[in-house]
Structure 1
């Protein structure tokens, strides 16, 4: 036997396939794969067709698939029938002889040796199936493998389908019938059996994956000979209906074309109407004319001219001279003939045939009128198109927005702008939100100089579905005509497509703490609370519209709107826009700028609670004098929440002196003067700044005014002492005199208060500004003097009033 053991040579490109064959075969024989899975690995990697073809050629179904389809996801492997070498054929013959003599063990060993060398040969599996006749399971496995590797025997596949049916393996039965069809595609009985099995699978709600009834119908149409015309037409109609319902125009045309080529004489007027409709959709007008002449009985007289182009190419042009139509030709076929002539440029025939067509009742043929009108408008014959539109708009059954739109556009193309305006208004009467009608009407009105009316036409009703593209055009036009407040309203509506509005403070917290898919998180948060994810008064945009702002456009529009809102003091709008922007996915790269804009909007809108949320983050991320000044401003404006813990955290690492200043300021505003004095004194001991001396003085004097405090005189003396220190450190007599005067006025030491206020009036200004003039405190000092003199010396009060406080 050694002479039979030589292994055949394997081409380098086939090594991977051979290894895969061995692996799949072993898994199948070991029960790790079902036959459906085994065959699927080889032939059904393409998910678009679960009916595999296992012969050495492509089936009709597969020929229909484009190369790009056949290479999807996994490469579909096509098997060539493997032939044994002469040496292995001899070994195979000896194995069969041993089996015939009853030596099953040796015959099995020989078969396995052949499988080891050539796993894709069918012969050893056929013999093994016979050897294991007593074991139905194994015998079936080997029979399936043998048929799979040599798939041209339809009867064998039918036998295996019957066995699978007995075992109630419907999936395997389906595959067997499919392979039988591949082997004998013209056998209608096999096709019908496969459809029966498919019906059983559907009724039992078996997961069909990509098993497709319409492909079974399509396969019948392509496989049967033309002598089976009735059957072909039956399944062609079924397939075309299913393809059409799935909007698969290419497939619908393909199946109807196949049927027409095989049995055109079986086509009814309805079938021809469907075929012609599909061909017109694909702009195959000459093919339609051939069908009219060859099948319908239309007689056409034409001449062909040969024209040499500039590049020496020769082109044949057909000129249609005359046309005779049978009297019994249905009107829908007449309309399609007209459409074909329109697109083929036979305008002389169109004019002649159109008069006859217009004699038909508009009530019954209105849709066909529209088809011809659309063809005429497409190629620019608007005068002829108007002959079809006028009867339509005069008929109450076709008093529709779409018809009036065609009418208006045709009038506009003909230069009848006034009539077009009236028709466009009719469109808006039927479809108030129609974006095309609004755009065209705006263009005409703008051209005529009616700017206000034109701008009103662009306004959509936000209660209904809104077109974002029209909203963007309105935004740009309002900007062009400088209508800022309306421009701001429309811009905010446009950005609301991607800018959500928050409902609760907790949603704002989510937006501030999260980067990324903020909108999705907020919608999930609302769903958890049992709320509608969307607001009732949200604008509903047209989901079928493909208009979308780019991230850069969205950012520029947002900045522009914020500027306009600031100029016109629309601070609530600023706050809404900035909150929406921070939740927008497209503006995530501008997060830092947006946080600061949110803070500014809150400040301008006097929303200090939310301003505090933002300034806390800013102070942490960007420590410095500016952020601390802003923080101090907000702290002074907000009284509801203590911020001591936050201040401790903010200054826990650096800036210990600033920490004391902030804490002292916080405690003095909250009425805890003794604690505030402690922090101010600590700050002054190290910094020796005029502000710290002033704060210590103020705190001491305020404490002295409290009834609950002891040693009032000591506190007053301490306050006056620090005021003196403040005066020396400040080196600005004008300001320090005023503050000292205020302190004496608070202590009710009026004579000294008057003296210091007089010094303020006699001292130089703090600074001079080219824009604002002298910057000083003279008016404030004069007003305080008026208050002091008002009770006991009205003349002096009036003198100061007239000299310093008269508005010129």
Structure 2
């Protein structure tokens, strides 16, 4: 039986109704129905003695109830749990002591919130059904309540009395008192080890007594073990939560150790213990600001403002923080409440702040009403500040009342404008926002004499006004002045360059966007380089557009290629390296709770809830990861202590995402106009023979999964990549594009020519046999892959296999002159082999294909030369001489040599006239025949007529 008369359930009894926090008791009685739920107001103390807090005057009933309607959380140790484990810096789950206390409180609040609605539902139903229940059951309301409380601790029906009931306080354990006194004496005489041993024994006997923890904290402080001392102070403070001085000490110690979150936790506890100490609330608000939690800081200042309604400074801080968080409406409500509470003595600074916030959210009419109300109230008393008058004018400007606005602005005179520069700029900016540039210039010019104070920003505002009025000459003049001061202003340089281009001052625009001489070499670090204005993507993009418009394609590519390449590279890296979310220690600890290690000496010990196999697997992995992190942390701690360095645990969360560098052009692939720019850049690079650079851009563009390029643009890039592939030393980098083009156009001779030329440059023909085989299987009637296979057999002198392939192609395209030429050549070469039996028949078949080629070509010079060369090759010199003489009788004009797109044509342009005429070759071969037959004079004459220049 529990101490309160109710049965204390074990973890296995009813897992759904109780949750055991290791080392502490947060317990609810087991019930069978939701209507019977009731919170206990006190927690079991375990085997140790139950000691009451100092200054606690709550009434205690016979069953141990405290006076109050709602249960109050009280931390207590219970059972065989080891309280000393709380003093460790971190437990196995990686949580610090204050974080573990925080977790326990959170679990308590969750359980209490679940039971609270059931209690409210139970009590709300009783009065409406009381009469009916009495009629049906004949039972009174008190009897029903008694039945509902069955199995739970019973409420005392005796009237509660002030003060303590006699005998309610248990007597202190004599052994605990004796050991505590001995330990105190040891501490006083500096015998710390003996004191620590006795205090540990006291903690085992009375784990919920705060004195031993406090004494241990004092001892470890004297031993300069500040971290452990602070942990014992933390336990002592939780066991005496109303001791505000102890919480304040913890706040100071936490700040000294640099743990602001722990200091904030202790501050909250100190405020609960001493709500009248306004300094604690100020301290908490300041600490929230240091932690970057501006919303909580604003809430804290709002609470202080409610306690000190006349403190305008606090009110101002709260509203400013709400503005920073974007909660303008809440700031407005606070200020309006203050004005309502001070109708006759309102502070004008509150009105000024309220008007500023309302103007930020474009509530100009409402801001004007507050200002005019303030003018009416103080019209007979004090003078309205100038700032409120100007704000009223600004409101009129945005409401379209320009004449009324000008009447308010008359308070600003040129002679005193320098005394109120912020108000002058506010007036001018408001006029600019509504398009009144001429009027705005009038106010900007008032401050021009002191323009140096504004570091170029005033000149920039004046320049924008002139640009909006299409007065380009004046705008350029002031933009130059602004850029002189604002050297790193990218937008100012871009706008100035655009104005210069409109005035046909291209060289000045280029100079404005070009980097200064030797500036990049002057800086060493990459971080500094990334901040330079001339490395900005927008600057380089604008400069490249100017070069392209001027026709300077080399300069265009030099400027544009680096930023396009860097942008695509960063996008590709971010796509490949998907940052894995690293779970924090808190999340891992929650997963580990699924497991039950049955470790009674562990602080976080609990029962094992029902879980799926997947959850158990996650919990096991989380436990191993926590153990690994703990081992790494302990190794770092040992290394730091060995080096004589104060080690501090890193309490930061491990969920920080991986941060990538911002690309120069973040919207490169989002805007469709940039897609044409990528294609144009690749074409320009190709025309400049910068094939590697072009291929890099093409490959990076096509690799992006989130690519928004249209199908047409992708096709264009792949075609260009395929054409570039055969122009580089290693065409392997372009094979993806080449194969894609061939796969899309399997019957295109041009595509296959590009593919075959790349194969020949790579000199690794066998590597591509699998692709050729697959294409031939997939497209049986495609001639180009058949011809390529035949060419490969010819190159390795396998003329029989080559002839078979050429004849296969001839069946598909019998009237193709090239196929007939190749088939005839293969058969003649085959006839010259040693193992062929029907050589003459094969030779005649080969000659028949050559004659067919001549017929299809109209007995052209080339066809006749091929026949003559075939006869010469097989030794039929008489027939060869006849055909050589026919070639000499024909004069062939020059034809352009076919080249692939984007192929270098310089070698064609450098050829001398007559490069298509074969008479020189025919004459030379004919003179060899004459010379071998002994007709030297005839041979000499042929050379003299056709070869000698």
Same fold (TM over 0.5): yes
In the alignment, what sits opposite 1:724? Answer: 847
- SS of the aligned residue for 2:569 comes to coil
CA deviations on 1:297-326 (whole Å, 9 max, x unpaired) are 99779xxxxxxxxxxxxxxxxxxxxxx984
Return the offset for 1:622.
5.1
Question: Taking structure 1 as the reference length, what is the TM-score of the superposition?
Answer: 0.57
Cα distance between partner residues in 2 of 1:796 and 1:436: 77
Query: Is residue 2:416 matched to residue 1:358?
Result: yes
Per the alignment, residue 575 of structure 1 pairs with 695
Quick check: 1:660–1:682 contact (8 Å CA) kept in 2? no
Where 1:779 maps in the other structure, the secondary structure is: coil
CA gap 1:399/1:167 in 2 versus in 1, 3 angstroms: closer
Structural mapping, 1:126-525, within 5 Å: 130=154, 192=275, 212=296, 214-215=298-299, 217-218=301-302, 229-230=309-310, 233=312, 236-263=315-342, 271-285=350-364, 287-288=366-367, 291-292=370-371, 295=374, 326=383, 336=391, 339-340=394-395, 344-345=401-402, 346-350=404-408, 352-355=410-413, 358=416, 360-361=418-419, 365-379=420-434, 382=437, 385-386=440-441, 388-390=443-445, 392-395=447-450, 397-412=452-467, 417-432=472-487, 434-442=489-497, 444-454=499-509, 457=512, 464=533, 496=565, 499-500=568-569, 519-523=573-577
Q: Deviations over 1:90-147 (max 9, x none)?
A: 53899998796xx7xx6454579xxxxxxxxxxxxxx9775599xxxxxxxxxxxxxx
Distance, in Å, in 2 between the alignment partners of 1:298 and 1:483 is 70
- Alpha-carbon distance, 1:682 to partner: 3.5
Report the secondary structure of 2:568's partner residue. coil
The residue that corresponds to 1:609 in the other structure is: 732
Q: 1:692 to 1:238 in 2, by over 3 A?
A: same
Q: Provide the secondary structure at the position in 2 that maps to 1:406.
A: helix
Rounded Cα–Cα distance in structure 1 between residues aligned with 2:507 and 2:946: 56
1:377/1:385 contact within 8 Å kept: yes
Secondary structure, aligned partner of 2:342: helix
Match of 2:826 in 1: 696
Whole-angstrom CA distance in 2 between matches of 1:294 and 1:416: 42
Q: Shift of the alpha carbon at 1:756?
A: 3.2
Partners of 1:166 and 1:736 lie apart in 2 by: 110
8 A Cα contact 1:488 1:561, kept in partner? yes
Matched, 1:758 2:812: no
Report deviation, 1:582. 0.8
Equivalent-residue separation in structure 1 for 2:682 and 2:314 (angstroms): 64
Q: Are 2:666 and 1:666 aligned?
A: no
2:799 paired residue among 670, 677, 682: 677
Aligned partner of 2:133 in structure 1 is 91
The 2-side partners of 1:452 and 1:241 are apart by 49
Segment of structure 1 superposing worse, 713-722 or 372-381: 713-722
Superposition deviation, residue 406 in structure 1: 0.7
Structure 1 residues 794 and 576 mapped into 2: Cα distance closer, same or farther (>3 Å)?
Answer: farther
SS of corresponding position for 1:240: helix
State the Cα deviation string for residues 45-83 of structure 1 (Å, max 9, x = none): xxxxxxxx9999xxxxxxxxxxxxxxxxxxxxxx99955
> How much does 1:680 deviate?
1.6
Deviation at 1:574, TM superposition (A): 4.1
The equivalent residue for 2:770 is 646
- Does the 8 Å contact 1:493/1:539 carry over to 2? no
Equivalence for 1:529:
none
Deviations 1:637-668 (A, max 9, x none): 22156326525752574568977754453354
Partner Cα separation in structure 2 for residue 201 and residue 275 of structure 1? 22
Deviations 1:668-725 (A, max 9, x none): 44xx42xx23422443576666345345257559x98xxxxxx699999899666424
When the two structures are superposed, what TM-score results if normalisation uses the length of structure 2?
A: 0.50
Relative contact order (C-alpha < 8 Å, sep 6+): which is higher? 2
**Deviation digits for residues 399-445 of structure 1 (CA, Å, limit 9, x no counterpart):** 52322211212344567543321211122233456454345434543
Matched, 1:780 2:918: yes
Structure 2 gaps, min length 5: 1-30, 41-105, 158-237, 243-270, 517-529, 580-657, 811-818, 900-912
In structure 1, distance between residues paired with 2:37 and 2:295? 22
SS in 2 for 1:500: helix
For 1:636, which of 754, 757, 760 is the aligned residue? 760
Unaligned ranges ≥5, structure 1: 1-21, 44-52, 57-78, 113-126, 134-164, 170-187, 302-323, 502-516, 526-532, 705-710
Aligned to 2:619: none
Which residue is 2:707 aligned to?
A: 586
8 Å CA contact retained: 1:760, 1:777: no
For residues 840 and 943 of structure 2, what CA distance do their matches in structure 1 show?
Answer: 30
Shift of 1:353: 1.3
Distance in 2 of aligned mates of 1:201 and 1:98? 54
Residues 424, 443 of structure 2: 8 Å contact kept: yes
Q: How far apart, in 2, do the equivalents of 1:209 and 1:129 lie? A: 43
Q: Which residue of 1 aligns with 2:721?
A: 598
Deviations 1:275-305 (A, max 9, x none): 332233234455555555655799779xxxx
Change (3 A) 1:376 1:768: closer
For the 8 Å contact 1:99–1:131, the answer to whether it is kept is no
Deviations 1:573-610 (Å, cap 9, x if unpaired)?
64344223213433465255543332123235565222
Q: Supply the distance in 2 between the matched residues of 1:296 and 1:190 (Cα, whole angstroms).
A: 46
CA distance in 1, matches of 2:346, 2:942: 116
Kept after mapping to 1: 8 A contact 2:496/2:509:
yes
Query: SS of the counterpart of 2:412?
Result: helix
> Residues 406 and 778 (structure 1 numbering): CA distance in 2 closer, same or farther, change over 3 Å?
closer
> 1:519-553: per-residue Cα shift (whole Å, max 9, x none)?
5344569xxxxxxx9999x9624x7xxx6664643
Contact 1:738/1:777, CA 8 A, preserved across alignment: no
Specify the alignment match of 1:159 in structure 2.
none
- Asked if the contact 2:298–2:321 (Cα under 8 Å) also holds between the matched residues in 1, the reply is yes
- CA distance in 2 between counterparts of 1:687 and 1:438 reads 64
Contact map agreement 1:595 1:614 (CA 8 A) in 2: yes
Asked if the contact 1:289–1:337 (Cα under 8 Å) also holds between the matched residues in 2, the reply is: yes
Note if contact 1:55-1:81 (Cα within 8 Å) is conserved in structure 2: yes
| Matched residue SS, 1:395 | helix
- Change in 2 beyond 3 A, CA 1:447/1:213: closer
Provide the C-alpha distance between the structure 2 equivalents of 1:551 and 1:580, rounded to a whole number of angstroms: 17
Q: Is the 8 A contact 2:731 2:761 kept in 1?
A: yes
Corresponding position of 2:945: 799
Please give the root-mean-square deviation of Cα atoms over the aligned residues, in Å: 6.2
String of CA shifts for 1:203-226, please: whole Å, max 9, x gaps: 99xx999994534654776xx59x
SS in structure 1 at match of 2:726: helix
C-alpha contact 1:96 1:107 (8 A) present in aligned 2: no
| Kept after mapping to 2: 8 A contact 1:680/1:696 | yes
Shift of 1:193: 8.7
Cα distance change, pair 731–777 in 1 and its aligned pair in 2 (3 A) = farther
Check conservation: 1:475, 1:487, Cα contact below 8 A.
yes
Distance 1:385 1:518, change over 3 A: closer
